[in-house]
Amino acid sequence: MNSALPSPRSSPDAAPASVDAAPASVDAAPASADAALALRYADELGWATGGSAPLRLLTGIAFDVLELPAEAGRAVLRRGVRTGPVLLSGARMGLLVAAGGADELPGLLDWLEWGSLALDLTAAGAGGRITAPPLPGAPGGSPGAAAWLRPPEPRRAPGPALPALAGFGSGTGDAPDLVRLVDAAATECHRVRLSRARSGRTTRESADQPLAFS
């Protein structure tokens, strides 16, 4: 393993509150249920949304998302690695990280010596969007729809930042560490890949509802 951590290519420290200056919603006006959900995301979290049926969360503004098979994601959660909010959509899981984290993923995988393997680990950053799960206290969606496994906290509530590269070696003990999260995710994706190869399954399952990138 290389001794030097790759330098950040973007500003990964952006907290959810940094989206205050961005529009709360874009694209066509959503239906009433989506409009209510979009309003809650804007008021409680300061997150930008867009579209309707389903409503989407815009990535690359307040947060980015690491996307991996749900089987690997559950294994990451069992490891006790500190994460930010976590959502599930079909056979895919999304781990929210600080804005800019998507840009760091390729370099981190190379630095952690995972870069030569075809891992089913991707990221949504600037220009991406993911299905917006219902927030706690709201009516749930249809079976198989996106849902929060670890819901986000209101922006006015104190708490650690989203996983970021800046957390590595910072000594603050506060921000979750993007490096450890990526390493755990890559490890579990590799284990799932080997398990599927032994059982004759394909590397990537087809999800009823893909997590991101519409």
Give the mean pLDDT of 11-29: 40
Higher pLDDT, 59 or 1: 59
Q: Are strands 63-69 and 92-98 parallel, antiparallel or unpaired?
A: antiparallel
Each residue's pLDDT tens digit, 145-186:
899 999 998 876 555 679 998 644 444 456 689 999 999 999
3-state secondary structure the chain: CCCCCCCCCCCCCECHHHHHHCCCEECCCCCHHHHHHHHHHHHHHCCCEECCCCCEEECCCCEEEEEEEHHHHHHHHHCCCCCCCEEEECCEEEEEEEECHHHHHHHHHHHCCCCCCCCCCEEECCCCEEECCCCCCCCCCCCCCCEEEECCCCCCCCCCCCCEHHHCCCCCCCCCEHHHHHHHHHHHHHHHHHHHHHHCCCCCCCCCCCCECC
Each residue's pLDDT tens digit, 81-103:
999 999 999 999 999 999 999 99
**Average predicted confidence (pLDDT) for the chain:** 81
d(CA 148, CA 60) in angstroms, rounded, equals 19
So what's the pLDDT on residue 159?
58
Phi-psi region of 169 (alpha: psi -120 to 50; beta: other; left: phi over 0): left
So what's the pLDDT on residue 30?
44
Q: What pTM does this model have?
A: 0.78
